[in-house]
């Protein structure tokens, strides 16, 4: 599974995702890769990320990006196809596969916008929902968040738009410092995520991508 913190601001977005790769073998055992990977994938209008099994997420993105001109409203179908293929390979009784979901960003005239693609019942269709301004989306496997609850409240209380900062460096440093302890503390509770993470910033004009070893 993946630990994601995604922030929808009034004029921009910030997305952070851990780097641990988890796959399910055909015998049902979980395989932990020693290689750190990026779970934030580029597309023409921003990035796509997701939580669940890595193969389901990466295949969804590959299907979407390999069909030229495909619009983002088809991303739910790409996720559905990828999930069904994975279920054919290893079976349907795996939480990580059944609960895979996606998120993507897009440029807008006033900033950048995040969209979530998910379903609360694997038997139902995926639905797309735009994140509201000053919304923080947290996707995680381990529901125990006591060690980061204070940091999350502080993050929400101190949300600041890109326009608040003098330059991009101030903006990037501000959110990197806020998110680093969250990833580090939660990784000590959840063996399915890493303390290191990739972080992505997007405005109406450009984007910034960075890796934090933490």
Tens digits of per-residue pLDDT, 75-133? 999 999 999 999 999 998 888 899 999 999 999 999 999 999 999 887 899 999 999 99
Cβ contact 164:135 at 8 Å: no
The pLDDT score that the predictor gives to residue 55 is 92
- Give helix 54-65 / helix 75-90 axis angle, nearest 10°: 140
Cα distances (Å, whole numbers) of residue 5 to 63, 126, 133, 142, 165 = 24, 21, 15, 14, 21
Cβ contact 35:95 at 8 Å: no
Taking only the tens place, the pLDDT of each residue in 19-61 is 998 777 777 788 788 888 999 999 999 999 999 888 999 999 9
pTM recorded for the entire structure: 0.94
The pLDDT score that the predictor gives to residue 130 is 98
Domain extent, residue 185, equals 4-212
Taking only the tens place, the pLDDT of each residue in 160-206 is 999 999 999 999 999 999 999 999 999 999 988 999 999 999 999 99
DSSP alpha helix (H) spans, 91-129: 95-98
- Give the span between the Cα atoms of 24 and 21, in whole angstroms: 10
List the CATH number of the domain containing 201: 3.60.20.10
Tell me how many domains the chain contains: 1
Strands 13-18 and 197-202: antiparallel
């Amino acid at each position: 599974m993946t630990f994601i913190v995604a922030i929808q601001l009034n004029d921009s977005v910030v997305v952070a995702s851990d780097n641990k790769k988890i796959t399910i073998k055909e015998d049902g055992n979980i395989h932990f890769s020693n290689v750190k990977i990026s779970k934030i994938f580029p597309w023409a209008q921003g990035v796509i990320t997701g939580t669940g099994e890595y193969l389901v997420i990466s295949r969804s993105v590959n299907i979407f990006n390999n069909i030229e001109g495909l619009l983002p409203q088809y991303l739910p179908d790409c996720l559905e196809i990828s999930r069904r293929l994975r279920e054919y390979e290893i079976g349907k009784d795996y939480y990580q596969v059944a609960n895979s979901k996606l998120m993507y960003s897009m440029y807008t005239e006033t900033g950048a916008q995040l969209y979530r693609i998910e379903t609360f019942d694997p038997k139902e269709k995926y639905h797309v929902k735009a994140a509201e301004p000053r919304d923080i989306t947290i996707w995680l496997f381990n529901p125990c968040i006591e060690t980061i609850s204070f940091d999350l409240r502080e993050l929400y209380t101190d949300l600041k738009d890109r326009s608040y900062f003098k330059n991009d460096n101030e903006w990037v440093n501000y959110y990197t410092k806020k998110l680093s302890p969250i990833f580090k503390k939660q990784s000590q509770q959840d063996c399915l995520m890493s303390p290191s993470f990739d972080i992505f910033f997007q405005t109406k004009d450009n984007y910034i991508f960075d890796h934090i070893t933490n």
